[in-house]
Structure 1
Amino acid sequence: MGVATAPSGPTPESDRAGPDRAHWLRAARETADDLATDAVAREQAGKTPFDEVSRLREAGLLTLLVPAEAGGGGADWSTAYAVVREIAAADGAIGQLLGCHYFLSWSAQFFTGPARAVQLGRQTAAEQLAWGGGFARQEAPLRLARKGSGYVLDGRQSYATGVLVADRLAVRAERADTGEPFAVLVDPAHPRVKIDGDADTFGQRLAAGGSVEFDAVRVSADNVLGSLSADEDVLSPLTAFASPVGRLLSVQLLLGIAEGVLAEVRECSRSGHSLWHPAWPVGSPQDPRMLTLYGELTVLARSAAALSEQAVRAVHGGLARGEDLTYDEYAEIAVLVAMAEAAASRAAQESTTRALDIIGVRSTSSRLGFDRFWRNARTLALYEPVAHRLRDVGDYFLNGAHPPFVLPG
């Protein structure tokens, strides 16, 4: 198996250019610094993150991926990935919230016609809408039935990101007559939509997750965005490409968490003394065990980051291919993303667990809040099991099998 080599190149320039990459990275850093100042208190309070979404909105980050000609930021996915990673280093849950919004609000261009995609982009930019929900397969699927010129949506979707703060919900529902899955857009203000903040997870507590119940909700035809079928007779390589694009967001979340905990632990250990030998100052070459541990965790994080950078370049190249993208190219890029997911998951879980050993018993202090990094990383790993990604990589390496079309939750 080689490294994905889908031809790279710039995405087509629009008639109106948005702010450059440096602008968005600066906005992300400023927002992350703001979030970091009260990250521990906010996480422990566990309140619905309306204020945090307002911070993202004020920084212009919600419209980053909307084309500039539609009133948005006009940035590309490589910039969006960097922004999510920066935010996640300060607050993993808000990074997840922002990443989910990016994927759902952007994916309309894959699952609907060009005119409707432009319309949704303009509305998202003009009203600064926040999107929530998810397209992952549910144990008991939502049901979409024909009624007159539109549809009726019924069922309950369990834990979905961002639903407590969303202005728009994007969900997966199956046609009652054919069983074909579709992406459906719903206004959460609809009187027959009931949202419960029942997620109660021990990590990613500020990702505004919850359950949504749809009770005979009327859905217009133009809000049934398009098919999510994995059948290759329906699914084009470009539409299938929504899977690695979305999954690469998980990589950025995990990397951000790994980098965030290492940065905080470093600052803490620089201000104290060795837990192993009180006469040795932290960071001294005389404290070899601590230095070795820092070295191991840094190598893990940097190695995962390097693999992520390869995946980001490959995804950029795949998007540049557009309708010319082939299934073989899609498969190679999807496998590279799966490799990056596996590496980032390991880096995040190792860093958030072993970083506590560096600080020692002081790390148990709730005032320091180091446990939030471990809880966030562990929660993400449970929702996105790395074993699935490793199986995809192994099946491709051994049998040449294309990874399945699996969208993030």
Structure 2
Amino acid sequence: MPTTTSTIIRPSADEQRRALLRTARDVADDLAADAIARDQAGGPPADETSRLREAGLLAALTPPGQGHGTDWRTGCAVIQEIAAADSSVGDVLAHHYVHTWSGRFYARHQHASALEAESTREHWLWTGAVRAPAPTENPGGPDLVLTPRGDGYVLGGRRSVDTAVAVADQLVVDAVCTRSGDILVVRIPSGARGLTVEPAHDRLGQRVAGAGTAVLDRVAVTAGQVLGHRPHDDESTAPFTALAEPALRLALCHVGLGVAEGALTEARDISRSTRTDRRPGEDPDLLLAYGELASAAQTATAVVDRATRVMAQALDTGAHLDAEEPAAVAALVATAEAVTSKAALHITARVLELVDAPGLDRFWRNARVLTARRPAAHRLRSIGEHYLNGRHRAMAPFR
């Protein structure tokens, strides 16, 4: 009898991308169903993390590699989808995705690949706060220090973290070595002895993001937990490492777009269902208002999409990145931040004037907290710096 061989047909990259986005939409629908109640309750995002983990989003949102990971543009699309339903969870996912790139930004690629594979296998949630190089260090001294001990170090100090500090599996921070003065980027597993968390209570917005302060008291750090060096200044920063800080800022632009999209969609649905005295399509003032807001959202989307495409190209280039490219990428990201922040604040405030519904204010509160992290003046100065002088200056800590 003739023998037959079975061929395993693997889904194409495009099919995998569509499947991941479908999963993200399903998770977003689930999060939207109780978003108001969870916002009112606050608390660490333990349940939300479980939803992301069970759906496979934590494993999927790692850098693309052999048999695992997600490309930059798809990862940002997933973040925006989740953020439109609950920007706190989008915030968590944005920090997770960017911090899973830490091995590539700061470490040897071989070490990074093994770490990414383990993260995918274990469905780890990442967070952290790595400072951007600055012209002058904190005059009061570093907030985190590494003291050599045996083959490793002991880590001590405090660091503010914007998301999931109490529930993350891996915490990425930078600290100054007391012996060499080098700034090392390290990862701290959850449950490490000496690691405690002080939650940030009564936040105006992003109440479920899980912000807080990591307190590290003589935490043991092995040589394997050291991801690499963080340069002291821009001049000594390798081109690919220079993408770390703008990558997080760009991922948060997608969170901001999600906030604007979620607010506009919810307001539209309310307008459609409650205006029984006059059809929305017949009210010229309402049409004008929604036309203005939709245009603002679409403009911000176009600017962010351009920055996302350029960032994706830079990340794909990797170690061969030209020395001048990171400054151009960072300038585009700063522009995206400026446009997105303005649109998110305007849209989320304006919808409160158009409709009156419980919980709609959460979009404005969330947008306010997101945009307050980096003042608009800093972004505009950075854009001007690049436009006039062809340089980009780091604006804020990488968190």
- Tell whether the structures are fold-level matches, with TM greater than 0.5: yes
Provide the rounded CA distance (Å) in 2 between the counterparts of 1:30 and 1:131. Answer: 22
1:374-397 deviation line (CA, Å, top 9, x unaligned): 110000111122222111001111
Q: Which consecutive residues of structure 2, in runs of 5 or more, have no partner in the other structure?
A: 1-9
RMSD after superposition: 2.2
Provide the rounded CA distance (Å) in 2 between the counterparts of 1:332 and 1:100. Answer: 23
Provide the rounded CA distance (Å) in 2 between the counterparts of 1:322 and 1:405. Answer: 23
Q: Name 1:354's counterpart in structure 2.
A: 350
Q: Is the 8 A contact 1:199 1:211 kept in 2?
A: no
Q: Is the 8 A contact 1:20 1:75 kept in 2?
A: no
Q: Is the 8 A contact 2:334 2:382 kept in 1?
A: yes
1:49-94 deviation line (CA, Å, top 9, x unaligned): 211111111111102243676663x320100000000000000000
Q: Name 2:394's counterpart in structure 1.
A: 404
Equivalence map 1:65-144=2 (5 Å): 65-66=61-62, 72=68, 74-136=69-131, 141-144=143-146
Q: Name 1:196's counterpart in structure 2.
A: 198
Q: Is the 8 A contact 1:142 1:154 kept in 2?
A: yes
Describe the SS at the equivalent of 2:325. helix
Provide the rounded CA distance (Å) in 2 between the counterparts of 1:405 and 1:223. Answer: 28
1:229-260 deviation line (CA, Å, top 9, x unaligned): 15356421111122222221111000000000
Describe the SS at the equivalent of 1:151. strand
Q: Is the 8 A contact 1:28 1:83 kept in 2?
A: yes
Q: Name 2:155's counterpart in structure 1.
A: 153
Return closer, same or farther for 1:16/1:172 CA change in 2, 3 Å cut-off.
farther
129-138 vs 185-194, greater mean Cα deviation = 129-138
1:251 partner amino acid: C
Q: Identify which of 275, 280, 283 aligns with 1:282.
A: 280
Return closer, same or farther for 1:178/1:406 CA change in 2, 3 Å cut-off.
farther
Provide the rounded CA distance (Å) in 1 between the counterparts of 2:85 and 2:336. Answer: 21
Q: Name 1:45's counterpart in structure 2.
A: 41
Provide the rounded CA distance (Å) in 2 between the counterparts of 1:70 and 1:153. Answer: 33
Q: Identify which of 238, 241, 244 aligns with 1:242.
A: 244
1:351-406 deviation line (CA, Å, top 9, x unaligned): 010110111xx24xxxx200110110000111122222111001111232223275
1:391 partner amino acid: R
1:319-374 deviation line (CA, Å, top 9, x unaligned): 22222222222211111111011111111000010110111xx24xxxx2001101
Return closer, same or farther for 1:400/1:233 CA change in 2, 3 Å cut-off.
closer
Provide the rounded CA distance (Å) in 2 between the counterparts of 1:71 and 1:407. Answer: 33
Describe the SS at the equivalent of 1:241. helix
Q: Name 2:310's counterpart in structure 1.
A: 314
Describe the SS at the equivalent of 1:66. coil
Provide the rounded CA distance (Å) in 1 between the counterparts of 2:92 and 2:373. Answer: 15
Q: Which consecutive residues of structure 1, in runs of 5 or more, have no partner in the other structure?
A: 1-14
1:398 partner amino acid: L
Describe the SS at the equivalent of 1:283. helix
Provide the rounded CA distance (Å) in 1 between the counterparts of 2:228 and 2:11. Answer: 28
2:73 partner amino acid: S
Return closer, same or farther for 1:100/1:146 CA change in 2, 3 Å cut-off.
same
Residue 60 (structure 2) pairs with residue 64 (structure 1): yes
Q: Is the 8 A contact 2:129 2:159 kept in 1?
A: no
300-309 vs 384-393, greater mean Cα deviation = 384-393
1:378 partner amino acid: R
Describe the SS at the equivalent of 1:146. strand
Q: Name 2:187's counterpart in structure 1.
A: 185
Q: Identify which of 223, 233, 237 aligns with 1:231.
A: 233
1:184-236 deviation line (CA, Å, top 9, x unaligned): 11122012111122343111011111111111111011212111215356421
Provide the rounded CA distance (Å) in 1 between the counterparts of 2:57 and 2:320. Answer: 30
Provide the rounded CA distance (Å) in 2 between the counterparts of 1:75 and 1:136. Answer: 25
Provide the rounded CA distance (Å) in 2 between the counterparts of 1:403 and 1:292. Answer: 40
Q: Name 2:336's counterpart in structure 1.
A: 340
Residue 212 (structure 2) pairs with residue 210 (structure 1): yes
Describe the SS at the equivalent of 2:158. strand
Shift of 1:16: 10
Q: Is the 8 A contact 1:134 1:172 kept in 2?
A: yes
1:408 partner amino acid: F
Return closer, same or farther for 1:107/1:199 CA change in 2, 3 Å cut-off.
farther
Normalising by structure 1, we get a TM-score of 0.88
Describe the SS at the equivalent of 1:20. helix
Provide the rounded CA distance (Å) in 2 between the counterparts of 1:121 and 1:16. Answer: 21
Shift of 1:165: 1.0
Q: Name 2:376's counterpart in structure 1.
A: 386
Percent identity for Structure 1 against Structure 2: 42
Q: Is the 8 A contact 2:160 2:214 kept in 1?
A: yes
63-72 vs 20-29, greater mean Cα deviation = 63-72
Q: Is the 8 A contact 1:65 1:106 kept in 2?
A: no
